[in-house]
Amino acid sequence: MCGIIGLVSKKEVSSTLVEGLKRLEYRGYDSSGIATISNEKIERVRSKGNLKFLEEKLLSTSLPGNIGIGHTRWATHGTPEEKNAHPHITDKVAVVHNGIIENNNQLRNQLIEAGTKFASDTDTEVVCHIITSYINSGLSAYDSIRASINDIRGTYAFGVLIASEPNKLFAVRGGSPIAIGSADEENYIGSDTYSLSAYSDNITYLKDGDIAIIENKSYEIFDQSNSLVEREKQSIIESVTLSEKGIFKHFMSKEIHEQPEVIAKSLSNYIDMDNSLLCVPDLPYDLSTISNVTLVACGSSYYAGLIARDWFEKFTNVKVDVEIASEFRYREPPMDSNGLTIFISQSGETADTLAALKHCKSLGQKTISIVNVGDSSMCRNSHASLKIFAGPEIGVASTKAFTCQLIVLACLAIKIGRLNGSLNKDQEKDYVKSLLSIPRLISNTLDKEDEIVKLAHDLSNITTTLYLGRGQMYPVAMEGALKLKEISYVHAEGYPAGEMKHGPIALLERDLPVFMMAPSNTLYEKTVSNLNEVIARDASVILLTDEKGLENIGYLKDKIKTFLVDETDIISAPFVYTLPNQLIAYHIALLKGTDVDQPRNLAKSVTVE
């Protein structure tokens, strides 16, 4: 989603701004642009589409200046075209924005009535004109920005240039993240740690209501009440280099193959290997008496929550609800005062999940976030946070973050079960043993990628498909369908296998591809009954199962395609059955020639509602 970069230096900044934008590409965007101040005049260059088009324009249009802002835009107000790309400018002001101005219509109408001419369809341009009108009324640059913030409603992070202040870069935070990174005789602003990590070894996140005035050697931050404040400067300790794709064609492929390694890393943070026992850190509240657990998330993170429900129910014996954040926050269901609410998010910035977190905190819930980005808003806003240690995930489709989320959720469920007496030490050891087997089991599946490639060739022309499973395999099926939809643009639906006969069975016809996930567990026979229903309607089944499952299927095996995985248990099954689905989606997308790492319309970090 939209990304901001800004820089004030002693040197020319335009090429660094473009480099900075490249570090924001992974968030998803449809246009980009940069603006600088030179001789107290604002200049800008913008382009629709990929950053290479902006770079091409910059070859013929030089953009001098030691101060500038840049932006990658993910359209909210106005179609993805150059006139809507940021920065938005007047003769006195340039603004880049991440977020949404909710009272845009009202403000726009007022400005139009007052004679303002708009050049774009964006909400951001409104802010640009409001700041300009305050400057025209005689206010200072800082006071004009402060006054404008009082006029707008919504979520935002802004980078602002004021032509009459050619040595000052302004940053504003109101719900969307923005941070400052400082280096030798230059200071930066950026949307996230990654965008700043190439230039600075430290990062200072603004808080909501803050306005920062940044010069090349120093900066000042003023809070909501206009007082000068210090905000914590953190070192960028973790390597946030995007590392090269190496031998891989796409980040998604690299991230799928990294899973054995990153899962092992995640496990090493939560398991004491010497004793095969958990070492999940203690949380700032008593987990032994919690009355219920609510898991809140969006997208793949929500599916991770649905899988984890099984673990929390079985290991802790407390009631568990799983909620889609965008629905939950407006439904506002009653919450038990002794409840624990867990927020799952790769980015830690997803607007709906973050809003649900703030809502739950206001209700007195104990909160914990399970995040990949350690200094994210969710991390900072929850009572406690557990990192998943997946490392930077660049592909828009979540793969390694999803499986690492499952690792942490399983560890947390076991920990609560131990604390409230639902599990004994031997059971803990058994589950830990199973967790420790996951990297090996996943590697075994990765070794069989050639089989998936063949399968993908057979399926390369599909236009619609079903993914079916029971129990934990139902959310695994939904996650498989989401992966295929996201990167290959093929319609796919994940459904509970037993529920198919209540509707989707009408879709079955000759050759319709149906993926069935059937580990040989207690639900195996029931799943095979559903498999029979599918075969009876001539659909084309791809069965994911283990040796035992294949043996028990008898003569049916001649009528279907199969992909065999290792035998699994309640802990390992979701991991082992997720891997083939990730690979199938990837290889079908590859054959279709889609933009695997940055699929159309999608953003990595969804910071608007």
Chain residues in the site for ligand M6R (CB under 6 A): 298-301, 345-347, 350, 353, 396-398, 482, 486, 602, 605-606
Set 2, 298, 360, 379: catalytic member: 2
**Cβ closest to ligand M6R, residue 96 vs residue 355:** 355
**Cβ closest to ligand M6R, residue 307 vs residue 397:** 397
Which residue has its beta carbon closest to ligand M6R?
A: 299
Helix (H/G/I), strand (E/B), else coil: 230:
coil
Helical spans, DSSP H, in 163-317: 193-197, 251-257, 259-270, 299-316
Helical spans, DSSP H, in 180-298: 193-197, 251-257, 259-270
* Residues in Cβ contact with 549 at an 8 Å cutoff, skipping those fewer than 6 apart: 518, 519, 520, 524, 543
**Cβ closest to ligand M6R, residue 98 vs residue 545:** 98
**Cβ closest to ligand M6R, residue 47 vs residue 346:** 346
- For 343-370, give one letter per residue: b (16+ CB within 10 A) or e: bbbbbbbbbbbbbbbebbeeeebbbbbb
Shortest Å, Cβ 482 to ligand M6R: 6
CA distance 130 to 104: 11
Token pair of 391, please? Answer: 């490392």
CA distance 120 to 323: 37
CA distance 333 to 330: 9
**Cβ closest to ligand M6R, residue 482 vs residue 588:** 482
For 204, phi and psi rounded to 5 degrees?
-125, 110
Please list the residues that pair with 88 across neighbouring strands.
95
Question: Is there a contact between 515 and 527 (Cβ–Cβ < 8 Å)?
Answer: no
DSSP classification of residue 58:
H
For 36, phi and psi rounded to 5 degrees?
-135, 170
For the question of residue 2 being annotated catalytic, the response is: yes
**Cβ closest to ligand M6R, residue 355 vs residue 435:** 355
> Pairing state of beta strands 340-345 and 366-371?
parallel
Set 48, 366, 483, 604: catalytic member: 604
Q: Which H or E element spans position 451?
A: helix 449-458
CA distance 582 to 586: 6
For the question of residue 604 being annotated catalytic, the response is: yes
Number of alpha carbons in the 13 Å side-chain half-sphere of residue 601: 5
Shortest Å, Cβ 397 to ligand M6R: 4
Question: Is there a contact between 92 and 66 (Cβ–Cβ < 8 Å)?
Answer: no
CA distance 437 to 129: 59
Pick from 280, 267, 360: nearest CA to 321 = 360
Task: Give just the sign of the alpha carbon dihedral 267, 269, 275, 280.
Answer: negative
Shortest Å, Cβ 409 to ligand M6R: 13
Token pair of 105, please? Answer: 């219509």
Question: Is there a contact between 420 and 414 (Cβ–Cβ < 8 Å)?
Answer: no
Shortest Å, Cβ 398 to ligand M6R: 4
Shortest Å, Cβ 548 to ligand M6R: 31
Shortest Å, Cβ 601 to ligand M6R: 11
**Backbone φ/ψ region at 138: left (φ over 0), alpha (ψ -120 to 50), beta:** left
**Cβ closest to ligand M6R, residue 162 vs residue 482:** 482
**Cβ closest to ligand M6R, residue 9 vs residue 300:** 300
Shortest Å, Cβ 226 to ligand M6R: 33
Shortest Å, Cβ 608 to ligand M6R: 11
Segments of 366-425 assigned E as strands = 366-371, 384-387
**Cβ closest to ligand M6R, residue 122 vs residue 605:** 605
* Residues in Cβ contact with 370 at an 8 Å cutoff, skipping those fewer than 6 apart: 342, 343, 344, 345, 385, 386, 388, 405, 408, 409, 412
Q: Which H or E element spans position 333?
A: none
**Cβ closest to ligand M6R, residue 67 vs residue 482:** 482
As a whole number of Å, the end-to-end CA separation of the chain is 12
Which residues are known to be catalytic? Answer: 2, 604
